[in-house]
Structure 1
Amino acid sequence: MAAGRGTDGNYQLERIAETIQETGADIIGLQEVDVHWGARSNYDNTIQLLAEELDMYYYFAPIYDMEPAQGSDHRRQFGVAMLSKYPITNAANRQITRLSTQDPNPEPRLAPGFLEAEITIEGAVVHFYVTHLDYRSNPAIREMQVSDMSAIMLENNYNILVGDMNARPNAEELHPLFQWYDDAWHINDVQGYTYPSTVPNRRIDYIFTSPRMKIDAAQVNMSNASDHLPVTADVTILRENHSYSIRGMKSLIDYYEQRGELTNQQLINRTRLHLDILHYYEEKNRKDKMIKHLDSFVDLLTYQKNHQMISDEAYDVLVSDTEFLRACWSSEK
């Protein structure tokens, strides 16, 4: 939100509030949030003011926490934040590797500013994460940050990650996020550029979701309230607790391999190959071929289970998802 400053350089928090209202978003992630930080934002607690204006719950995760300005009792803070129409049941300011902009001789070290919040939505516990990755051209810090975030998010099943990644989709350091999560923008054919907001020419702002969430829509919203354009997505939490596509199951394979619950690399590769074939037939809408190949996929999973190469949880989840997809595809024949 660029500390509340719009494309004209003026601090006007009302524009941020209006933009959020126009999107209709229920949960919002914000970067570059000032809390009593400085004159550029009138030393305001900007996230509290936004929450009051929008009648939402909020949580703030400072990256920097500095001594109060002269004549003030409030600490100067800058970081990321979230707003939610749902109550926030738990929240934490997690640490990832950072290269401080406040230190004249910074070195990479763990520092706060990775927001994690727990929200219950219609009975489902969702973990919402907000991040702002390093802006420098050298990707080394971003690579470490992605690794740190991924390790934290592996602790939970239903995750939504939003933020300014300061890297384009083809950046190698972002590859793990695209591998383990669904990029909300994948359902669109257009570029989805978000920066700079005046003449956008790159996509560096993202929404990632766990495999068992369905992306119904994603869009970039026009606004002059900040230097980035806001990106929004409509997300459905699958109440059946199943992956809704082969894409989701491929993400689960990556997830379980990362957790060490799939142990034989050769069979992991064969499992991925099966899913690649199924994904091909899924895109071609060849339901007959898809259902046939599901049988051999289950056989492969069963072989791994019989030889203790897959955890009970991974086996049960993947077989359950297979049966769910079989039922869906059979009903569409």
Structure 2
Amino acid sequence: MRFLLYNISYGAGVGRDLHFPFPYAGHLKRTGRNLNRIVSFIKSVEPDIVGLVEVDSGSFRSQKNNQAELIAEELDLCHVFESKYGENSVAHKVPVLNKQGNAVLMNQRISSRKFHYFSKGIKRLVIEVELKDLSLFLVHLSLKFRHRQYQLQELFQMIESADKPVIVAGDFNLFEGENEAALFLAATGLKSANRAGWASYPSTAPRKQLDYIFYSPEIRTRNFYIPPVRLSDHAPLIWDFDISDAPDHINSPSVRQRAA
């Protein structure tokens, strides 16, 4: 199976598209043209499951269209979307912000779906999707270190209740690196698909590893790479895997180098 993780930054683009005529102006522009490029890229890699972070569900910049729904229709996939702010959040009451969320797309039947919200931070959403052979948790953690630590504790409790192999993926905002998640990984036994620690942010000249895919030992990595795609400020992560009874081993997968 192929899993694509991509923070698409609401389709705002990069470089001049994002920062002209002033910094981050792209977040106030219509995003249809760049979203078409994103759709073409996603279609080209033929994923089975897609985790999308920072999706617009229908503000003026997406011309009232849900970006997750549009992408799912183009790829003939099922989709699950939810706002990343809880109903009681101030952000949920602010125009544009209340249309911001995350989404999971897949080419198989969904056994169940749940939406969890962390008790700390502004970005609180956790999408839990149960498929036939695994449970997927998609997250976007807080920008604040202290809030992230609380969120990782709560995420551990959510994962503990899963009775299938688990994938936990998203924009973790671990500005100090994977060491921030050391206790979380030790407690859960999850491994990182990105064993070489390649950076994914910013996409134009990656320096930080903010986006992660963690998985249970029952899942075996076949390949992992970060293509040099510059349609968002984050680069996408592509991970090929299968599920087996034998635990994954550190030196078993074939891993392609990140393209220059």
> Which of the five TM-score ranges fits, normalised by the shorter chain?
0.7 to 0.9
Which residue does 2:215 correspond to in 1? 209
Which residue does 1:117 correspond to in 2? 129
Which residue does 2:181 correspond to in 1? 174
More helix by percentage? 1
What amino acid does structure 1 have at the position aligned with 2:193?
Answer: A
Question: CA, structure 1 residues 196+117, in 2 after alignment: closer, same or farther (shift >3 Å)?
Answer: same
Question: CA, structure 1 residues 171+210, in 2 after alignment: closer, same or farther (shift >3 Å)?
Answer: closer
How far apart are 1:99 and its partner, in Å? 2.2
Q: Residues 27-42 of structure 1: matches in 2 within 5 Å?
A: 27-36=49-58, 38-42=59-63
How far apart are 1:171 and its partner, in Å? 4.7
Secondary structure in 1 aligned to 2:131? strand
Percent of aligned pairs with the same amino acid? 26
The normalised TM-score by structure 2 is 0.77
How far apart are 1:67 and its partner, in Å? 5.3
For the 8 Å contact 1:61–1:92, the answer to whether it is kept is no
Secondary structure in 1 aligned to 2:205? coil
For the 8 Å contact 1:23–1:221, the answer to whether it is kept is no
**Range with bigger deviation, 165-174 or 39-48:** 165-174
Alignment partner of 1:24 out of 46, 52, 55: 46
Q: Residues 178-193 of structure 1: matches in 2 within 5 Å?
A: 178-179=185-186, 180-186=189-195, 188=196, 191-193=197-199
Which residue does 1:93 correspond to in 2? 115
Secondary structure in 1 aligned to 2:137? strand
CA-to-aligned-CA distance 1:111-133 (integer Å, 9 cap, x gap): 5x10000111xxxx210111001
Alignment partner of 1:131 out of 127, 139, 163: 139
Which residue does 1:63 correspond to in 2? 84
Unaligned runs of 5+ in 2: 1-7, 19-25, 253-260
For the 8 Å contact 1:169–1:203, the answer to whether it is kept is no
2: CA distance, partners of 1:226 / 1:209: 25
Secondary structure in 1 aligned to 2:233? coil
For the 8 Å contact 2:129–2:136, the answer to whether it is kept is yes
2: CA distance, partners of 1:170 / 1:224: 22
Alignment partner of 1:80 out of 92, 102, 111: 102
Unaligned runs of 5+ in 1: 70-74, 102-110, 248-281, 284-333
2: CA distance, partners of 1:92 / 1:234: 25
Secondary structure in 1 aligned to 2:208? coil
For the 8 Å contact 2:122–2:142, the answer to whether it is kept is no
1: CA distance, partners of 2:47 / 2:183: 27
Which residue does 1:162 correspond to in 2? 169
Secondary structure in 2 aligned to 1:185? coil
How far apart are 1:169 and its partner, in Å? 6.8
- Number of residue pairs aligned between Structure 1 and Structure 2: 222
Higher Rg of the two aligned structures: 1
1: CA distance, partners of 2:50 / 2:192: 17
Secondary structure in 2 aligned to 1:29? strand
Highest relative contact order (Cα 8 Å, sep 6+), 1 or 2?
A: 2
Secondary structure in 2 aligned to 1:15? helix
2: CA distance, partners of 1:170 / 1:203: 7
1: CA distance, partners of 2:94 / 2:171: 28
CA-to-aligned-CA distance 1:166-187 (integer Å, 9 cap, x gap): 115745431134322010011x
CA-to-aligned-CA distance 1:175-213 (integer Å, 9 cap, x gap): 134322010011x4xx41100111111111111100111
CA-to-aligned-CA distance 1:272-302 (integer Å, 9 cap, x gap): xxxxxxxxxx99xxxxxxxxxxxxxxxxxxx
What amino acid does structure 2 have at the position aligned with 1:197?
Answer: S
For the 8 Å contact 2:153–2:184, the answer to whether it is kept is no
| Structural RMSD (CA) | 2.5
Question: CA, structure 1 residues 193+171, in 2 after alignment: closer, same or farther (shift >3 Å)?
Answer: closer
2: CA distance, partners of 1:151 / 1:215: 25
CA-to-aligned-CA distance 1:51-106 (integer Å, 9 cap, x gap): 1111101001212354596xxxxx943211111111222111112233227xxxxx
What amino acid does structure 1 have at the position aligned with 2:169?
Answer: V
